[in-house]
Each structure stands twice: as C-alpha cells, then as structure tokens.
Amino acid sequence: MAKKLDPSYRPEFAVLNGEVVSFGEAKISIMAPGLTFAATVFEGMRAYWNPDHEQLYVLHLQDHLERLEFSMRVIELDNPPSTEDFTAQVMAGLRANKLREDCYIRVQAYVDNWGEMIAIGPVGSSVICRARPRADAFATGKHFAVSSWRRNADDASPPRIKATANYLNSRLAGLEAKRIGADGGIILNRDGTVSEGPGGCLFIVRDGCLITPPVTAGILESITRRTLLHLADDMDLVAVERDVGRTELYLAEECFYCGTGQEIVPILSVDGKTLGNGEPGPLTRHLQTAYDNIVRCKDEAYKDWLTPVYE
C-alpha cells in the first residue's frame, strides 16, 4: 500500500515569480484575470525517488515545459518565463523543500494583478513541489462510469491546451461519478465516441491489441499516453490510435487510465459491467512494471526521459 499523506501537509516553500518563498507567502491578487477569467495554464509533473541511487528524477521535464510553452502561446501570455527559467524554478522548488521521496510538481502561469478578460499581462508564475506517493488504485484498480457530460470541443475550450478552464468539464464529470458511486467518469465527445477521463487518458485492450482514442478525440495530448505508445512499440505490442465507441468499453478485456498523476490505473468495470475477470489485466500489469522501472531509473535504456535533481 502506498504511504498516505496527512491532508494538512503543505510544502515549506513554493516558487513565486521565480523566487523561492515560504508556501504561505505565495499569494496572488483576488482580481487577477488568472482567477477571475481563468486565464491560467499549467503543467503537472512527477518526480520519483530512487533510494539506491539516492536520487530524485523528474520525468519528462522538457516535454511538460514544451507543452506549457504551447499553452502559454495559445492563450497569448505576454513575455512569460522561458522553458529554461521554469527548469531552474522546478529544481529550486524541489531542492528548497529537500524532497527525497516521490513528488508532484505543479507549474502555473497566469495573468496576475487586475485586468480585463483579454488582458495578456502582467504574467505571474508559480511552482509548487510536494511529496505525493503513488495512489493505492495503481495496485487495486478503479470502477468507472460513462459521464453524461460531453467533452469540451477543440473549437470551444480546447482540451489540447492545459488550461484550468478545461477542468470545469472534468470537475462536473468527477462530481457526477462520485454521486453515482463510481470512482471516475469517462467523458464522451460530441460525436459520442470516447474522449478521456477527468484527469487522464484511456486505453482499452481488445484481442490483445492496445487501443486509445486519437489526439482529435478531445483529449489533452498526454505525455503518459505518448510514453505508453512508445513503450508498446518497443515491446512489440500492437497499439493503435483510433475512435473508441462507448460499448467497446464493455467488450474490452482490459482497460486503464493513464496520466502523470494517475500513472497507470487499472479500470475493473465500466457502468457496472465487469471487464475481463474483474482484476487488473496482464497487459496492464506488464506496462505498470515497465513504467515503474523507467520512472525510477532502474531501466537505463530510458534514462534520457529523466532529469536528476541532486548533484
């Protein structure tokens, strides 16, 4: 079982506008357009502790910061911090908090101060690094239900941008799932095909083949999804990106949810219909093991995906 964190836990330090400050000092204006008009984009990353190496490794740091750069460009933030600035800030946040365990890192960029809906500056930024153990669901799995909420479309509030605004849709789906007794919701797009979950992408397994909805299905272009497609290729598994119909979920031998925070969570049932034998499936377990070895730098072949934090 993963170690549980005390819900009152807060990291000692945060990075606000490039400066390490105490977590309590990291505040923004109540009239910041980042808050009042959701002019905020962000990234969520994980760092993994390897006790044998006495080292903390940030997973896919560069890819996350490149996605953040894309998000900042689309919402037209004026002169935001660069990828190099954010790299230094992530390292500063992890080191200031002396984190030597699995962590989660949230990097945010927003319009600060006071302004109208289309204000593009002044841009504020923050980096929060905190301990976050693996969720128990990695081992035990979850039960999902298809949501009645549809995914926001690319021509409305584009899911490809990692904007806080998009998480209203995820929140509604998550609240509904909780209300009906499911652990998570599966969101369909306007075409009625599977999009993703509130905070992660989906894979199903049919006839031994991995299938995941395409990047045009209303998903965030997930770095974990891309990683798993890469891994599947390296492992000579068949993996395809194609539309997935709702009832295909019920036919799947296996299904899992993936994302930086979720990692790889087996889905044991959808809409009360048991998948396979109701246990995490063998392909899911196989990918979980490979993933865990990679993220902790136990598999040298993928060490380029990791950035060590300590000297």
Ligand X SMILES: Cc1ncc(COP(=O)(O)O)c(C=O)c1O
Catalog residues that contact ligand X under the rule CB under 6 A: 44, 170, 196, 199-201, 219-220, 222-225, 259-261
The DSSP line for 229-273 is: HHHHHHTT--EEE---BHHHHHH-SEEEEEETTTEEEEEEEETTE
Smallest separation (angstroms) from ligand X to the CB of 305:
13
Smallest separation (angstroms) from ligand X to the CB of 190:
16
Are 159 and 170 contacting, i.e. CB atoms less than 8 angstroms apart?
Answer: no
Residue 44: φ, ψ to 5° = -120, 125
From 187, 195, 204, select the one nearest 222 (Cα to Cα): 195
Smallest separation (angstroms) from ligand X to the CB of 44:
5
Smallest separation (angstroms) from ligand X to the CB of 59:
10
Nearer to ligand X, 201 or 231 (CB): 201
Q: Any idea what DSSP says for residue 17?
A: T
Give the whole-angstrom CA distance, residue 233 versus residue 147: 31
Catalytic-labelled residue, pool 3, 4, 27, 162: 162
Nearer to ligand X, 219 or 268 (CB): 219
Nearer to ligand X, 125 or 222 (CB): 222
Catalytic annotation present for 162: yes
Burial class for 52, CB neighbours closer than 10 Å (0-12, 13-18, 19+) = exposed
Nearer to ligand X, 183 or 196 (CB): 196
Annotated catalytic residues are 162
